[in-house]
Chain A
Amino acid sequence: MTLHDYLYYIILPVLILSAILIFWRLLKGPTIADKVIALDLLITTGIGVIGVYCIIYNHSTLLDSALILGLIAFLSTVALSYYLEKRKKK
Chain B
Amino acid sequence: MIEIVIGTLATFGALFVLFAAIGLVRMPDTYLRISVTTKAATLGVGLVLMATAVFFSNSGVTSQAFVIILFIFLTAPVSAHLIGRASYFIGIKLWDKSVMDDLRGKYQKNSHILKSVVDDTPEDNVDHTQIENKEKRD
Q: Which residues of A contact B (CB under 8 A)?
A: 2-3, 6-7, 10-11, 14-15, 17-19, 21-22, 24-25, 31, 33-34, 36-38, 40-41, 44-45, 47-48, 51-52, 54-55, 60, 63-64, 66-67, 70-71, 73-74, 77-78, 80-82, 84-85, 87-89
Contacts and interface: CB of A to CB of B under 8 A. Distances in A.
Contact of A24 (B10, B25, B48, B68): B25
Interface residues of B, number: 53
Given A22-B21, A48-B14, 15 more contacts: A3-B6, A19-B21, A21-B24, A24-B25, A25-B25, A44-B41, A44-B76, A54-B55, A60-B61, A63-B65, A67-B64, A67-B67, A70-B71, A71-B71, A85-B90
A64 B71 CA distance: 13
Contacts of B75: 70, 73-74
B14 A55 contact: no
B10 A7 contact: yes
A81 B85 contact: yes
8 contacts: A3-B6, A6-B7, A33-B92, A37-B37, A47-B49, A60-B60, A60-B64, A73-B75
Nearest to B52: A51
Contacts of A64: 64
Interface in B40-58: 41-42, 44-45, 48-49, 51-52, 55-56, 58
Contacts of B21: 17-19, 21-22, 41, 45
Interface of B: 3, 6-7, 10-11, 13-15, 17-18, 20-22, 24-25, 30, 33-34, 37, 41-42, 44-45, 48-49, 51-52, 55-56, 58, 60-61, 64-65, 67-68, 71-72, 75-76, 78-79, 82-83, 85-87, 89-92, 110, 112
Contact of B72 (A34, A52, A70): A70
Given A18-B18, A21-B25, A11 B87 contact: no
A80 B71 CA distance: 19
B65 A14 contact: no
A6 B67 CA distance: 26
A84 B14 contact: no
